[in-house]
Amino acid sequence: MSTHNTKEIYDYTIVGKDLTTFILQPGYVEGVEKLEKTFPDIKTMYSSIFKNTKEYCVVLWNGIPFRWSYTEDLPDLVANIIEILNQIIVNNTEQWHSELKSKTFEALWSFSTKDSMLSIKSSFIRVDGGHQNALNSLSVIKINREHFIAEWKLLIEQLLQSFLASEQIVSGSEAEECLHNIKQINNHIANRALRYQYDKR
């Protein structure tokens, strides 16, 4: 799928360098309780783990932000996020797409990679706040692959650490595979985004 338009990408760069990219700012994860329960799937498990978290995970898409709730959106999106990162890091896939859908968010992200660069074209269907048309007006992101996966590192760490802190158990092969992938991806992403590498700024 090659709908990326060079003029569009060039146009985005006129405002400022750090606007024309993908930035992910996770919220603060609060009060993970030790429940030691068994959950049938990842979604139910993370809904329970994040039930006390009030801050949002905010994504900046070419300078326009949208938000994901830890209680209402991220539990639905974990499997998508893992799949996206798995395609980039483990499978090294050149072209694919991912349909992301949660309570307040729905989008189709089409990915293509070439050498060290990653292009993402998004069709935003719903976002919290209803500004999907604004996001669709700046729908293409072109970013270094390593920079893109580094943006996810802190969220992946949150998913892993909050799971370990909760001492919960998932049953079912799909859920177990997802957790295995979270651990694998966490090991594969060497660095967090630069703003979270406090000794290097």
Partner 1 sequence: MIQLQLGHPKIIDHGQIEIEKVNDAFLKLFHTNEESCFLFWDGIPIRFRYREDFYHCFNEILAMCWMLEKEKEGKTKATLTNQVMKITLKLFWKDDRLEIDALFEAHEELYSKYVEVLNTKNSITISKQSFLFEWNTLLKQFIEVLQQGEVTIKQDTENRKLELLKQVENSIKGYGKLYVNA
Residues that bind partner 1 (CB under 8 A): 11-12, 14-16, 18-19, 25, 27-28, 54-56, 58, 60, 63-67, 128-131, 133-134, 137-138, 194-195, 198, 201
Amino acid, res. 23: I
User: Of 127 and 179, which has the nearer Cβ to partner 1?
Assistant: 127
The DSSP secondary structure of 36-100, one letter per residue, reads: --EESSHHHHHHHHTTT--SEEEEEETTEEEEEETTTTHHHHHHHHHHHHHHHHTS--SEEEEEE
Considering the complex, what minimum distance in angstroms separates the CB of residue 18 from partner 1?
Answer: 8
Measured between alpha carbons, how far is 32 from 167 in angstroms, rounded to an integer?
10
- Which residues does residue 22 pair with via DSSP β-bridges, in sequence order? 61
Minimum distance from residue 184 beta carbon to partner 1 (Å): 27
Residue number, 12 or 39, with CB nearest to partner 1:
12
CB of 121 to partner 1, least distance (A): 17
Provide the minimum distance between the beta carbon of 63 and partner 1 in the complex, in angstroms, as a whole number: 6
Nearer to partner 1 by Cβ, of 41 and 72: the residue is 72
3-state secondary structure of 176: helix
